[in-house]
Structure 1
Amino acid sequence: MSRVHCPRCQRPQSHCLCPLIPRLASRTRVLILQHPDEVRHALNTARLAALGLCNAELRIGEHFPELEAELAGRQVWLLFPGAAALHVEALAGQACGEERVLIVPDGTWRKARRLLHCNPWLAALPRLSLAEGLVSRYRLRKAPGPGALSTVEALVHCLNALEGQGRFDALLAPFEALIDGQIAAMGEEVFRRNHLRESPET
């Protein structure tokens, strides 16, 4: 018999995260484009981010031809690294007379690049990058390198930089609870043996 899942956060009902998900207003409109392979991922932080932001939308797919016309004439930025990417702190200092639209690809680096490949207009957008050296709080998976953050973490860093430090930290509460729940399910001993990072020598 399959477990009953919450229709909103899609977690098992016994581990529903909805009480921890905030509803935060932002001047920036957030549009998360999720690769289909990520939909049933245990750590679907894109859904958590979309649920926690009033001005956010989650769309699933590989091809988004409708968006090019929908966003024509808008101030649109792609949160994705690149040689010509503008640091988000620099954008925060620029005056903005209209609503900014922030597009965030959701998936592994390979899948995110696939989204850009399938949507040339997306790859051509001006890009934003985050500060170097940011470390993910996802303690159950070794990141491929510094700056490899989950979608919700990347959004928190970006929106905090654009609209005020600390304003969007509450988005991380369900993310932390999700990780704690996975650690509890595997057991502390297994977690320490397989995932706990060693402390650097002093």
Structure 2
Amino acid sequence: MNASSFSRPGRCARCQRPVARCLCSLIPSLQATCPLLILQHHSEARHALNTGRLAYLGVQGAQLWVGEQFEDLEARLAQAQRPVLLFPGPQAQVARALAPQQRPDLIVVPDGTWRKARLILHRNPILQRLPHWVLPQGDVSRYRLRKAPDPQAVSTLEAIVRLMQLMEPERDFSALLRPFEHLIEEQIQAMGLDTYERNYPTSR
């Protein structure tokens, strides 16, 4: 299923937000050395933040596939010589800066809750054969509306930004986070600051 399958009346066809709250002016268009393939579980496609789609829109040439089992995945992986999967695993390597000729030529990122991301791996066994990468420890997630059991857990968009920053340390990919931060602030305002601070007392 392609990335445009969830367009709805009254919403921006690109960012899929209500037209009055369109995010497109905040979404950059950045080039990246490593091509990006986001495999988004279909349950994530209608999520209010949908950070996988924000990454897809902000990175030139990125692909966003929505579903659970992807028939074209094997053919897409066959086009790459050094694909990697950004997901934990027993043999996962910590991502680090590499010389240009050693960098992956495809980064595959499952997008969904941990349970749904594991389901994508289960339904697409070819992913298990890819080298697994994990991010080094970094700052706490900016996703202040989520109570994650692991303080190092980050959204899909944040993970992609951190990985790209590692791959190309001379670049600045922080502009990709602008629509994400705007959405968080919008939701905090909608719930009211008192409610936010009561439910997320350690978020600030």
TM-score when normalising by structure 2? 0.89
Instruction: Give the match for residue 90 of structure 2.
Output: 83
Q: Could you tell me how far apart the structure 1 residues matched to 2:104 and 2:98 are?
A: 15
1:24, CA displacement in angstroms? 0.1
Instruction: Give the match for residue 72 of structure 1.
Output: 78
Aligned residues of 1:21 and 1:48 also touching (Cα < 8 A) = yes
Q: Could you tell me how far apart the structure 2 residues matched to 1:141 and 1:52 are?
A: 23
Which residue identity does 1:66 align to in structure 2?
Answer: D
Q: Could you tell me how far apart the structure 2 residues matched to 1:5 and 1:195 are?
A: 30
Which residue identity does 2:48 align to in structure 1?
Answer: A
Residues 76 and 177 of structure 1: CA distance in aligned 2, closer, same or farther (over 3 Å) = same
Match of residue 157, structure 2, among 149, 152, 155: 152
Aligned residues of 1:31 and 1:104 also touching (Cα < 8 A) = yes
Specify the SS of the correspondent of 2:159.
helix
The question of 1:29 aligning with 2:35 is answered yes
Instruction: Give the match for residue 6 of structure 1.
Output: 12
1:65, CA displacement in angstroms? 2.7
Residues 165 and 82 of structure 1: CA distance in aligned 2, closer, same or farther (over 3 Å) = farther
Which residue identity does 2:93 align to in structure 1?
Answer: L
Residues 99 and 76 of structure 1: CA distance in aligned 2, closer, same or farther (over 3 Å) = closer
TM-score when normalising by structure 1? 0.90
Specify the SS of the correspondent of 1:103.
strand
Identity %: 51
Residues 3 and 161 of structure 1: CA distance in aligned 2, closer, same or farther (over 3 Å) = same
- Structure 1: 5+ residue stretches without partners: none
Aligned residues of 2:103 and 2:167 also touching (Cα < 8 A) = no
How many residues are paired up?
196
- Structure 2: 5+ residue stretches without partners: 1-7
Instruction: Give the match for residue 62 of structure 2.
Output: 56
